[in-house]
Amino acid sequence: MAMNLEDRNSLFNFVVEEGYGVKGLMDSGLSTVPQPYVQPPHERIPIKNAHICEAARPIDLSLLDGPDHDRVAHQIARAAETLGFFQVVNHGVPVELLESLKAAAHEFFKQPPEKKAMYRKEVSPSRLVKYGTSFVPEKEEALEWKDYVSMVYTNDDEALQHWPHPCRDVALEYLKTSMKMVKTIVGVLMGRLGVTLDEERTEALVGMTMVNMNYYPPCPKPELTVGVGRHSDMGTLTVLLQDGIGGLYVKLDEGTDNGEWVEIPPVHGALVINVGDALQIVSNGRYKSAEHRVRTTETSARVSVPIFTVPKPWEKIGPFPEIVKRDGVARYKEVLFQDYMNNFFGQAHDGKKSLDFARAF
């Protein structure tokens, strides 16, 4: 393979355009981090000492069905207002399915490059399935150490027909078993703000879903790279399955906690839930779409499987009127979600800057 790793064009061509990904780069026998992946010092992620973090103690969702309902609802709302992240157990998604999902992610990425590259955006047989690397490689100063495959859900038939084989059945099952929980949590969160969500309003918030499989190959020098750079998720709620390796960090509040970063530790059988930009917007800022990032590791490949639940593209998203009335001010303007998405995917990750698109003042 004629590839000069220090030449950005040559590397870009191999990793992005030919679809080898970071995994292909590592499989070519790499022992250093090529320059295009070296982050500027202020973006690098130091190893942190274990930090006691609320999100380390998962919330038992089954308690929502009993006498502890209000206490648990309060716990969920509190987490969504402060950290924007929490973990849940007894979530209704079978733990064996979580294990199968991680295995499926490894199976997809260990395929030969051409089996993955056939899903590159430019050539994918379906507009629903996209394999790629980094986030927006054309726009990034330093590339992210991550490959992914993204599967948008429209209906069962299309999913069965187009989603790649190693992931298809488990991803579909994961999506189905998670959505009940997502709707319950969104209902609890909006209920606390005095907003009643009927089926139509719920659909407007979480009517579009996609399952991603992320693959973070081992990295020769994790202190120089990022798996995913600082960002918030664009949608309503994200459900994330992470494996046991760790490395997911969330930024604490700038005002009260100096913007320190804490790790969301892996908990076997738990799912991570986080608030996205759309929920911050409709709640008029009450719920916080958390800034987060992923560190790479030296020894083994990490996988994660997020479900992004987002508004339908043609929905107009703005703070709910009953909340604005109570708050006396609308902190965000109404945006067509398609425009919000285009803006989100049009630039490199840059913390919570994505929200500026909807900021009212």
Q: Does 228 bind ligand OGA (CB under 6 A)?
A: yes
| In contact, 289 and 276? CB cutoff 8 Å | yes
The residue (of 287 and 320) whose beta carbon lies closer to ligand OGA is 287
The residue (of 75 and 134) whose beta carbon lies closer to ligand OGA is 134
Q: How far apart are CA 274 and CA 83, in angstroms?
A: 9
Q: Does 205 bind ligand OGA (CB under 6 A)?
A: no
List residues binding Ni ion (CB under 5 A). 233
Q: Does 150 bind ligand OGA (CB under 6 A)?
A: no
Residue type for 307, please?
I
Minimum distance of Ni ion from residue 327's CB (angstroms) = 27
The residue at minimum Cβ distance from ligand OGA is: 304
Q: Does 311 bind ligand OGA (CB under 6 A)?
A: no
Q: How far apart are CA 286 and CA 289, in angstroms?
A: 10
Minimum distance of Ni ion from residue 190's CB (angstroms) = 22
Return the residue of 87, 178, 236, 304 that touches ligand OGA, per CB under 6 A: 304
Structure tokens belonging to residue 56:
């380390």
Minimum distance of Ni ion from residue 239's CB (angstroms) = 11
The residue (of 283 and 304) whose beta carbon lies closer to ligand OGA is 304
Q: Does 348 bind ligand OGA (CB under 6 A)?
A: no
Minimum distance of Ni ion from residue 349's CB (angstroms) = 9
Return the residue of 294, 301, 310, 330 that touches ligand OGA, per CB under 6 A: 294
Structure tokens belonging to residue 121:
């955006």
Residue type for 290, please?
A
| In contact, 163 and 42? CB cutoff 8 Å | no
CB-based contacts of 344-350 (< 8 A; 24+ apart in sequence): 344/234, 344/277, 345/136, 346/136, 346/139, 347/136, 347/139, 348/135, 348/136, 348/139, 348/140, 348/141, 348/229, 349/135, 349/140, 349/144, 349/228, 349/229, 349/230, 349/231, 350/229, 350/230, 350/231
Residues that bind ligand OGA (CB under 6 A): 212, 214, 228, 233, 240, 242, 248, 292, 294, 304, 306
